[in-house]
Amino acid sequence: MKFELVTLFPGYFTPSLRQSLIGKAWENGLFDIDIIDLRNFTTDKHRTADDTPYGGGGGMVMKVEPLDRCLRKLGYAHTDTAKPDPKNRILLTSAAGETLTQTRAIEYSLCDRLTIVCGHYLGVDERALQLFPVEEISIGDYILTGGEPAAAVLVDAVARLIPGVLGNFQSALEDSFMNDMLGAPVYTRPAEYEGLQVPDVLLSGDHDEIRKYRREQAIRKCLERRPELLDSAELTDDELQLVERLKKKRI
């Protein structure tokens, strides 16, 4: 799989993405990352990639021409349809985009190529979104000074799902949000610390009881912190009854 990061600040990514498991997987060739300086596709001596907005107001807008040249250089063609190629996607980090979810990360991990354009300023000239099948993606309801951190989050969320990146892929399958649920509380050695004990069931060796306990704790956590997740989670009849009992205790 290849990630292409189109950015005004190419120096941002090397220190951030070269760390930890993602950096090791990149180094080992489990995926490739090309960092592309958008200013290389400008034509003036000042390498101008932004301009003031038509209609007035503060801020700047990323120009359409450099991005058009860049995406065509990468092999993307102008299209009269917004439907993306399922294996080659163009993403734009944007506060106006659809929220990144674990489901989307899984979908993107099945692609051959993700081209991620780092948004800046007020945004990108709308004509770029009309010329190419660009998907706008947000990592949350807040504003950053630039799209580079969001692009790094995208790469991390997607790359860790590529086989071989995690030492134990089972840990990815048990992630929060993998089944529309938060993860259960976790513990490690020592079994007792400052008078706080690891729950006995986790020390029992009874894997069926451990799975049951973790599922129940995940449901409890969802109900406390993200109750809306339970609306789409697949729950058994016993689990639905548990939710109702827990709700009554909270009233």
Asked whether residue 105 falls in the same domain as residue 163, the answer is yes
Helices (H), 121-236: 126-131, 148-159, 169-173, 200-203, 207-225
Asked whether residue 141 falls in the same domain as residue 181, the answer is no
| Cα gap 247→101, rounded to integer Å | 26
| Cα gap 106→238, rounded to integer Å | 29
Domain count within the chain: 2
Q: Which domain does 199 fall in, by range? A: 174-250
| pLDDT tens for each residue of 104-150 | 999 999 999 999 999 999 999 999 999 999 999 999 999 999 999 99
Asked whether residue 156 falls in the same domain as residue 102, the answer is yes
Asked whether residue 218 falls in the same domain as residue 164, the answer is no
Inter-CA distances, 144 with 90, 119, 138, 147, 193, Å: 20, 10, 11, 7, 39
The domain that holds 197 is classified in CATH as 1.10.1270.20
The domain that holds 52 is classified in CATH as 3.40.1280.10
Q: What is the pLDDT of residue 80?
A: 75
For the record, the structure tokens of 1 come out as 């799989």
Q: What is the pLDDT of residue 172?
A: 55
Asked whether residue 146 falls in the same domain as residue 200, the answer is no
Last residue of a domain, one of 110, 140, 168: 168
Give the chain's residues under pLDDT 70. Answer: 81-82, 168-179, 251
| pLDDT tens for each residue of 179-195 | 678 999 999 999 999 99
Q: What is the pLDDT of residue 180?
A: 72
Q: Three-state DSSP class for 224?
A: helix
Predicted TM-score (pTM) of the model is 0.87
Asked whether residue 182 falls in the same domain as residue 164, the answer is no
Asked whether residue 147 falls in the same domain as residue 204, the answer is no
Asked whether residue 44 falls in the same domain as residue 146, the answer is yes
Last residue of a domain, one of 147, 168, 189: 168
Asked whether residue 147 falls in the same domain as residue 193, the answer is no
